[in-house]
Amino acid sequence: MTRRRLLGHILPGSPGSLRRRLLLGAAVLATMAVLVSQFIGFTVLRAWLMDRVDQQLADFHPPRPAYAAAVRGGGPDQRPGTLPSDFHVYFYDASGRRIDSSLGSGAQPGPQLAHSFHHLHLGEGRPETVEAIDGDSRWRVLLSPGPDGMHSVVALPLDTVDGASAKILWINALLLVVTLLALLTLGRWVIRLGLLPLTRMERTAERVGAGQLDLRFPDTEPHTEIGRLGGVLNSMLERLQRALWEREASENRMRRFVADAGHELRTPLTSIQGYAELALRPEPLPVEQQREGNRVIARNAERMSLLVDDLQLLARLDRAPSYRMEPVDLLSVAAEAVSAAAPHRDGHPVDLGPLPSPGGGDELEVVEADGHAHRLAQILENLLSNARVHTPTGTRVHVRVGATVVGDATCGTDRPGRTSASPPLPTGTAVGVIEVADEGPGLDARDAEHVFERFYRADRSRSRAYGGSGLGLSIAAAIAERHDGRLELDTAPGEGCVFRLVLPIQSTAQRSGG
């Protein structure tokens, strides 16, 4: 029989619940404790009573005249005398025969003693227990040597000891029953009170399982087991809720991305399809209309090609590509980007200068960072193109290059008014910085928060033909993050936009040591 089946026989209904198992365990332990304590108490008391009887036997010594009187008595009617107590004394003569005459009084049957000393099997000076001649009583006897080769057996009845032992056993049984009944009655209430926090956790868990993920377990006392369990479960629920939120946000971003990509592709595809159907009409079109249709088809095909290239680039960046990193002169990259923007100077003047520093230096310095020169140049091209497209004509654009360290007063950290799609860099890290700042209208907090998202446009009314697809800043931020840096934006309405590329750099000593 297995342990589970045994418990099922002890407590009907199979002890499945924790309360029932605790109550059963407490009852078993209490029963064992009471039984052990009662057994020890009973054993000690009975041993003490037996010691008292043995001491009485040892202290009683029949006088010498009693031996002679027993020999002269000759028969039961000529006894030498009786004792005013429960003592009985039996004599054996020198030949080993038991003398019929004995000392003692009382009507109860005496002990069973052999008629011959040689069959007595009692040790001298060692008390032993023998049965009575008739009935269930018992006697404690002690064999002692007497004069002239005689022996005597002193006996005391054990009725007092057995009666006291029986009463103790009945009292112990009654005490055990009362203890178990009290334990089952009070233990159920105590266990229910002790497991009340666990019951509240169970109800909270049921509500969480029903979908209320914002609930938390109320009992989180760190000094109790249930409190520590509640704290761990609360942490798990927070991580689970955060993971579900992130999953939902990721799914929403994916749906929005697919919808935006389809919307971006639908416009040029519609134009191409319309002019293609027009070209396939049976009647020929005038030469000018054919030429205009071909130009529209070519322009929209180029736009679709650029969009597909951007999407492929984002897909490659999402797979964390490995660049062949080499030292790149950020000042040269910035100068080339400013030079490439020269054809647009009339509409948006662009200048190159040093990064503002607390020392007030106004000289350009060479700043080197490990990276991929072509990808870093692509970031600057996107930033400058973004400044031209999203600011009014005549807005000045400033490109600044320099080196600094990450901090709240410089760059690379999160603070109010600054947004980024990448995590902050460790404070105190040496970084190279390229800033693209414009003097345009700037962005409000809502637009700035989403400016690095794919297909996002701050100006919803801007034509897609001139406003781009909304992927440029997403691509630039992804490239910066693959360089262990980040792209961040400082802006406010009426204060322009400052896009800042922050890249970790190594000191001269580190480079030479490497």
Give the per-residue pLDDT at 400.
92
Grade residue 511 by pLDDT with cuts at 50, 70 and 90. very low
DSSP characters over 79-113 = -S---SSS-EEEEE-TTSBEEEEEEE--SS--B--
Cβ 375 vs Cβ 326: under 8 Å = no
Average pLDDT over residues 101-108: 70
Cβ 458 vs Cβ 391: under 8 Å = no
Residue 503 pLDDT exceeds 90: yes
How many residues appear in the chain? 514
Q: Which residues contact 52 (CB under 8 A, 6 or more apart)?
A: none
Residue 301 pLDDT exceeds 60: yes
Residue 436 pLDDT exceeds 90: yes
Residue 318 pLDDT exceeds 70: no
Segment holding 448, helix H or strand E: helix 445-450
Query: To the nearest 10°, the Cα dihedral for 424, 430, 436, 440?
Result: 60
Which of 297-301, 335-339, 442-446 is the least confident region?
297-301
CA 120 to chain centre: 76
Give the per-residue pLDDT at 84.
57
226: Cα within 13 Å, side-chain hemisphere: 12
Give the per-residue pLDDT at 74.
47
Q: Choose among 378, 247, 267: nearest CA to 313.
A: 378
Grade residue 122 by pLDDT with cuts at 50, 70 and 90. confident
**187 vs 465, more confident:** 187
**323 vs 288, more confident:** 288
**400 vs 69, more confident:** 400
Based on DSSP, count helices (H) and strands (E) in the chain, helices before strands.
13, 13
Q: Which two tokens stand for residue 208?
A: 């969480």
**107 vs 210, more confident:** 210
pLDDT above 90 covers a percentage of the chain that reads 10
Give the per-residue pLDDT at 358.
59
Average pLDDT over residues 36-55: 90
Q: Is 446 helix (H, G, I), strand (E, B) or coil?
A: helix
Residue 76 pLDDT exceeds 50: no
Measured N-to-C along each axis, helices 159-194 and 196-209 cross at an angle, to the nearest 10 degrees, of: 40
Which of 37-51, 79-93, 363-377, 491-505 is the least confident region?
79-93
Give the per-residue pLDDT at 508.
42
Which of 5-9, 33-37, 68-72, 332-336 is the least confident region?
5-9
Residue 140 pLDDT exceeds 80: yes
Residue 8 pLDDT exceeds 60: no
Q: CA-CA distance, 155 to 157, in Å (whole number)?
A: 7
Q: CA-CA distance, 272 to 463, in Å (whole number)?
A: 18
Q: Tell me the pLDDT tens digit for each residue of 255-299.
A: 776 766 666 667 677 777 777 777 777 777 777 777 777 777 787
Which of 114-128, 333-347, 386-400 is the least confident region?
333-347
How many other β-carbons are positioned within 10 Å of the β-carbon of residue 269? 14
Average model confidence (pLDDT) across the chain = 79
**374 vs 225, more confident:** 374
Residue 500 pLDDT exceeds 90: yes
How many Å is the Cα radius of gyration of the chain? Answer: 53
CA 310 to chain centre: 44
